[in-house]
Amino acid sequence: MITESQKDLVKATVPVLRESGVALTSYFYNRMLTNNPDLKETFNMGHQRSGAQAQALAGAVLAYAENIDDPSVLAPVIELIAHKHVSLNIQAPDYNIVGENLLHSISEVLKISMDDPLIEAWGVAYGQLADVFINAEKALYEQHQQTKGSWLGWRQFKIAKKDVESEEITSFYLAPVDGGDLPKYEAGQYISVRVFVEDLGLKQPRQYTLSNSPQSDYLRISVKREDEKGELAGGWVSSTLHSLPEGAEIEVSAPTGNFFLIDPNKRNVFISGGVGLTPMVAMLNQLITQDMPQPVTFIHACRSGLVHAMKKHIQAHQAKFPRLSTFTAYEFPQPSDVLGQDYDVAGRLDLASMDNALLPQDADYYLCGPMPFMAEQQKALIARGIPVENIHSEAFGTGGVKLS
């Protein structure tokens, strides 16, 4: 149990963490991965090189220090990260490795002895936080064990089919090599995939939202090709996936995540930007299987029709279900878009100017896309009087990026 004096020591590091937290966590990751090179196949090296991983951890460490008196306020973040850890098969012993390297990093960066009371205080604080994560993840692992068709760790899948959705996005239909059952997951959840990256000589993981409602014989992800390797998170994994032929095998973790359709019997509004439409399509498909019990609004923003994935899929649903309303914003419409009249507005999405019928007060709202996009849409919804508790966002980590 952490003492009040130890809490005070941890809180005293808050100014340092605000000023130099990223430098500390960058040092920590370099130390840990140097001492434990096998972990390079657990952590996404693209996030390491871009600094996204260090930024996310720095934010989490700072939040814990600031809320050491009442860590319960961090429950939503802990739940989010626990799902990420389970998708990467993080186990309890891994926390010992992280703790040892974190404490030594604090000692070495701050130039204080490992016997200093501050290191002891952070050791106790870290131990308590690790126990919280271990217990949360244990419950998720047990849930997977009790779910028919689910599994623990990595399972071999083959790419059964590739379907080009736009100039940038391709859907991958993944079938289990063992031919076994697949679990019933929640529309909006994600999987981790792990592939061998030639440039690194390593297996690399990346998390991708499942872009369809549960199917009996395949999982589907729709992946944006990101050719910049290292600077943009996922570049190595996405470019490797796009280069693989049908029939190639990859490793996949079981579906997980805490962003999913909450109430199919309520009015729902889906707002997405770019490849953020993938969980929205999965949720819409789930509602289609239930004959769409309530009206749905599907709002999407992207650069142009050239990169608008699954457009025909949505249009086909709209033709069949009058309760489905759509609205599309193309920031830079192409001549073919103008001729086809395939969008509603040119320019950035502006919820303030939209018809009230498309944005009802009593609906649940789901947002997914780049962090600035989601922040802008949430602000606009609140300005329209939508209760904040009715707005649900797909957060890709504490810093707005996937933690893998």
Q: Which residues are catalytic?
A: 95, 137
Scanning the structure block, which residue is given the tokens 């939508």?
386
- Going edge to edge, which strands form the sheet with 219-224? 202-209, 190-197, 249-252, 155-164, 169-176, 219-224
Q: What whole-number distance in Å separates Cα of residue 263 and Cα of residue 240? A: 36
Q: What whole-number distance in Å separates Cα of residue 330 and Cα of residue 259? A: 26
Pair type for strands 219-224 and 202-209: unpaired
CA angle centred on 369, ends 143 and 317, rounded to 5°: 80
Scanning the structure block, which residue is given the tokens 């186990």?
91
Q: What whole-number distance in Å separates Cα of residue 184 and Cα of residue 188? A: 12
Q: Tell me, what amino acid is at 63?
A: A
